[in-house]
């Protein structure tokens, strides 16, 4: 019993649920597995933690190796440990999620991914391992976190309209929001900067805004809570 920690009973992987928004659709980044187990199946990008790295480092590394996506903010959300979740060995996986503006990413599949592709979140294919469960847990976390932290801005271009922001919330939360109420709430928080620019094109005259992260952090340190 005393020396049990010298004989690890499971391997550890990190799996990444990368959410992207292209202005209209919420998507998730999947890879087609190029090697066993689950070769040929779609799955979340993931891989084994190595001896000299932390979980965060493992997640960042495998994501870059599999998809070419780098320098993005990822956050751990849950660890999965069902006995038979891996077909060959006992493997615990730690789930990470990230949010990116998907119009702004070049994908370069490599390593043991034969293909890398964005899928709309309500049209994802059958996934290998227990990745459907991990994806759903990440989506539930995102829905919860969006309401209490200004993370949604990571999915938008730097400059956006209030309609862009509302669309994003409606798509993720899967519900219609009252337009006037939404605008009143987000503007009253005082964390958006109104730009002296309007969006040209379809929505003529729609004012553009930027998220003021500095002001958000200042307000937060004074006890302010984001709540949308």
Contacting residues toward its own copies, per CB under 8 A: 2, 4-13, 35-36, 48-56, 76, 78-79, 81-83, 86, 88-92, 94, 144, 147-148, 175, 223, 225, 227
Among the listed residues 150, 15, 24, 161, the one whose alpha carbon sits nearest the alpha carbon of residue 92: 15
Nearer to its own copies, 16 or 208 (CB): 16
Nearer to its own copies, 50 or 170 (CB): 50
Among the listed residues 58, 163, 164, 146, the one whose alpha carbon sits nearest the alpha carbon of residue 103: 164
Q: How far is the CB of 121 from its own copies (least distance, A)?
A: 19
Contact between residue 50 and residue 132 where contact means Cβ atoms under 8 Å apart: no
Q: How far is the CB of 161 from its own copies (least distance, A)?
A: 25
Q: How far is the CB of 201 from its own copies (least distance, A)?
A: 34
Instruction: Please state, in angstroms and rounded to a whole number, the distance separating the CA atoms of residues 207 and 160.
Output: 8
- Indicate the angle between helix axes 131-148 and 162-173, nearest 10 degrees: 140
Nearer to its own copies, 87 or 125 (CB): 87
Radius of gyration of the chain (CA): 20
Nearer to its own copies, 8 or 205 (CB): 8
């Amino acid at each position: 019993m005393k020396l049990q920690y010298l004989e690890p009973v499971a391997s550890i992987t990190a799996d990444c649920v990368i959410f992207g928004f292209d202005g209209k659709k919420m998507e998730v980044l999947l890879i087609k597995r190029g090697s066993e187990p689950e070769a040929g199946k779609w799955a979340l990008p993931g891989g084994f933690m190595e001896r000299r790295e932390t979980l965060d480092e493992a997640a960042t590394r495998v994501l870059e190796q599999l998809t070419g996506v780098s320098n993005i903010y990822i956050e751990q959300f849950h660890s999965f440990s069902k006995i038979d979740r891996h077909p060959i060995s006992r493997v615990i996986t730690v789930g990470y999620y990230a949010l990116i503006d998907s119009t702004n990413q070049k994908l370069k599949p490599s390593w043991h991914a034969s293909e890398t592709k964005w899928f709309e979140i309500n049209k994802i294919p059958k996934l290998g391992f227990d990745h459907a469960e991990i994806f759903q847990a990440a989506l539930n976390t995102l829905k919860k976190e969006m309401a209490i932290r200004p993370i949604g801005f990571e999915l938008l271009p730097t400059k956006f309209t209030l309609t862009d922001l509302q669309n994003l919330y409606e798509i993720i939360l899967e519900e219609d929001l009252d337009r006037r109420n939404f605008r009143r709430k987000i503007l009253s928080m005082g964390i958006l900067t109104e730009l002296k620019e309007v969006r040209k094109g379809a929505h003529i005259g729609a004012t553009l805004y930027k998220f003021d992260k500095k002001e958000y952090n200042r307000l937060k340190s004074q006890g302010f809570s984001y709540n949308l």
